[in-house]
Structure 1
């Protein structure tokens, strides 16, 4: 069974062959932004048949109109080879018959401007060549961006489209200013060995070619079904009571979202029942100011200028009456008598007996450790500090008498501090004595060393005048003169 939306058939296993628009085949990768030929589903002949058909290229990225001879017998969904200025291109027929005439009227294309025609149906070799060109477009896009960056050209290359026979490549770009790309085209043609066409597009067309996911969670409208772009302004957001937030109202293209126009007509029809100048209403209780409007419910919320704490919901019919009273020169009493009375329904909650119906698992209680008291914490800290056999004895401390215990119980902080002080003083005395004995020993050692004769090598003069005069033929060591110190103190002598 052939797909009625794109015309492709099915394989032997039942899967669609190359189809992508979610028509009767159910896939979603071809014929994006192409018009749907609903007359093809009816299964009847078009009485207003025309020899002009619409052909889309690169999954609906671009469309054009061509003449189709009757003897070719091509229909909607057929892959065809069409003539171009440089060889041929391969596309798919998306519209035929009377719908083509309506589409040409919508796009304002007269029949006299349609000069090209379809050559034949695309064969297997043509489809293979197109697939090779589509694979080549990815590497070409990367190289083209690198060349543009090397030449410091202020443009953004968004897409590359090869012709079906691979002889021509169209490079789509966006730029804020006018760009001189003559030198750039020479480098592109020298690098890619094909004819280059540069085509500038807007940000909306760029987003439509690239695709993406919108804030609603669905695929972008411009890349799926939206075929033309209508003007969108902030007035559409004001009519729908939408906050003017540029970030939330802008799409991926950086412009206002196209979906702001979808429900605008419905809001415009509903706003016809509202009064034109109803921002302020004069009453005897004070000046009333319009705060917000519920368009579909037909309610306008007012509050007093002096007291803005309470809102008064007033129907549109009552607002017309209040404005008519003001025009007559009178003042209504207040807004409270004209506000919409909302009957509040009191909901009575009934409780059911769920005993035995729901079994809750018992909560597992965690075992909490009890906090120790102050005395117990002190004891535990003291026991950690002390060794197992009691306090370590120092050299100055006396051992405890046998009649008294060795301090297993509590001790006062004063006695403990006094013992620490005693041990520190004793240690200092010991250090002083050891230092004194060490100095005396050092002096005695110097005296004894001076009294005792040293080794013959040390006692012999190192370099005396006599030794130099009475020297033999043995080798003599040359003495290096010592440097004089610049600091204070007498100079050293040999």
Structure 2
């Protein structure tokens, strides 16, 4: 995700378009949708779809009717209908793909939610819009101070001004219900604008603010993920991950959404394994499962009372023993099925980059002073021998 102005400079440093998500090429924006129908022409006689997708600050997107039949393309700044006044946003999608997106998000074309596009934004509209956005950071700090002064248990995470600068939406998170009526009065008096408070969840907050995850990439919720499915600790158990909240939680404080990505694959793979609480009955005794390796398809069992001795067998062999137990056929021991643990722990390193030996500091170096003393003694001895001769 990066436009030409966001590419790397001559010195290797990133340039940065400095548009804060309003790049005209729409390649460095949040929740960008690739228009794979852009190169296709409509059949003869069919009119293009009259709705467009418009993106506002961060990940907020809405759909609007192009009732004026304006020639709009991705990256155009438009003035849209709002209540009251008008808002300013950027067109992120046009054409038939908008119809598919609206159907996916269950937005009807003739509903009241779909408002109108007034016009392409003039320079005056853009100047007012930019001036309003420049005020957001300062107002966010002052609004947090007002909330702390009133003792409200809430966190104001983001502020979004309307395009005409007459209204501001304050996004906040709170664990309990907050009575912010006095806060609204104080903010309206201090900022001289219409105030709208909107509570969001912690995942929605992370999606709006963005960031870098533990994988080193941008957060999925701020780049492409739109539906937040519930994530449970069972997803971590299926994938045999340690239940460490610090590692499993994302920046929102909830379990990471990526725990669900490979969950179906793990569940399909585990169908070939017996349940971990199933015991294997042998003539030597009962065996209990200690560990499972899904990738290699093997399991480790230990006899009751001999917990330190593990026996490695495949999942197929474990199922065979279970079937024999159900048929009440005797099984001598797990040693008949156990695999030999052949693990090559020896690792050979090669000096392929011309590095010095790692043992070059093992032998202590002789100091120069000792060398000088030895040279003096040697010279003195040579002189004595010469005099005797």
Shift in Å, 1:205: 1.0
Say which SS state the counterpart of residue 336 (structure 2) adopts.
coil
Counterpart in the other structure of 1:78: 76
CA contact (8 A) 2:23 2:75 kept: no
- Give the match's secondary structure for 1:274: coil
**Structure 2-normalised TM-score?**
0.80
State which of 40, 43, 53 in structure 2 corresponds to 1:44: 40
CA contact (8 A) 2:206 2:222 kept: yes
Residue pair 1:209, 1:223 contacting (<8 A) in 2 also: yes
- Paired residues of 1:159 and 1:173 also in contact (CA < 8 A): yes
Matches within 5 A, 1:382-421: none
What is the correspondence of 1:293-442 to structure 2 with a 5 Å cutoff? Answer: 293-341=292-340, 364-366=365-367
Check 1:131–1:26 CA distance in 2 against 1; reply closer, same or farther (3 A cut). closer
Show CA shifts across 1:2-61 (max 9, x none): x9x9899x9xxxx99777779997974xx2124333333xx2235584211211101x43
Q: Is the 8 A contact 2:231 2:256 kept in 1?
A: yes
Q: 1:217 Cα shift?
A: 2.5
Distance 1:149 1:36, change over 3 A: same
Q: Which residue of 1 aligns with 2:269?
A: 270
Q: Is the 2:171–2:199 Cα contact (8 Å) retained in structure 1?
A: yes
2:62 matched residue in structure 1: 64
Aligned-pair RMSD on alpha carbons?
A: 3.5
Q: TM-score, normalised by structure 1?
A: 0.64
The superposition leaves residues 328-364 of structure 1 with CA deviations (integer Å, 9 ceiling, x where unpaired) of: 113311111112345567989899xxxxx99x89964
Shift of 1:83: 1.1
SS of the counterpart of 1:320? helix
Structure 1 residues 199 and 7 mapped into 2: Cα distance closer, same or farther (>3 Å)?
farther
The corresponding residue for 2:283 is 284
1:98 to 83, 96, 99: 96
Larger mean CA deviation between 334-343 and 205-214 belongs to 334-343
Per-residue displacement from partner, 1:272-327 (whole Å, max 9, x unpaired)?
Answer: 22224663111111111101111122111111111122221211111111000110
The question of whether the paired residues in 2 share the 8 Å contact of 1:33 and 1:223 is answered with yes
Structure 1 regions of 5+ residues with no counterpart? 352-356, 369-494
* Number of residue pairs the alignment of both structures matches: 351
Name the CA shift for 1:208/1:346 in 2 (closer, same or farther; >3 Å): closer
Q: State the alpha-carbon separation in 1 of the partners of residues 104 and 339 from structure 2.
A: 48
Q: Which runs of 5+ in 2 are unaligned?
A: 8-14, 351-355, 371-389
Paired position in structure 2 for 1:220: 219
1:96-124 Cα shifts (integer Å, max 9, x gaps): 23322232233222223244111111222
Aligned-partner Cα distance in 2 for 1:122–1:219: 31
CA distance in 1, matches of 2:22, 2:159: 26
Q: C-alpha separation between the residues in 2 aligned to 1:174 and 1:67?
A: 32
Whole-angstrom distance in 2 between the partners of 1:136 and 1:194: 12
SS at 1:38 equivalent: coil
Q: Which structure has the larger Rg?
A: 1
Do the aligned partners of residues 350 and 248 (structure 1) sit closer, same or farther apart at CA in structure 2, a change above 3 Å counting? closer
Question: In 2, distance between residues paired with 1:258 and 1:335?
Answer: 40
Q: Is the 8 A contact 1:299 1:316 kept in 2?
A: yes
User: Which position in structure 1 is the counterpart of 2:232?
Assistant: 233
Residue in structure 2 matched with residue 242 of structure 1 by the alignment: 241
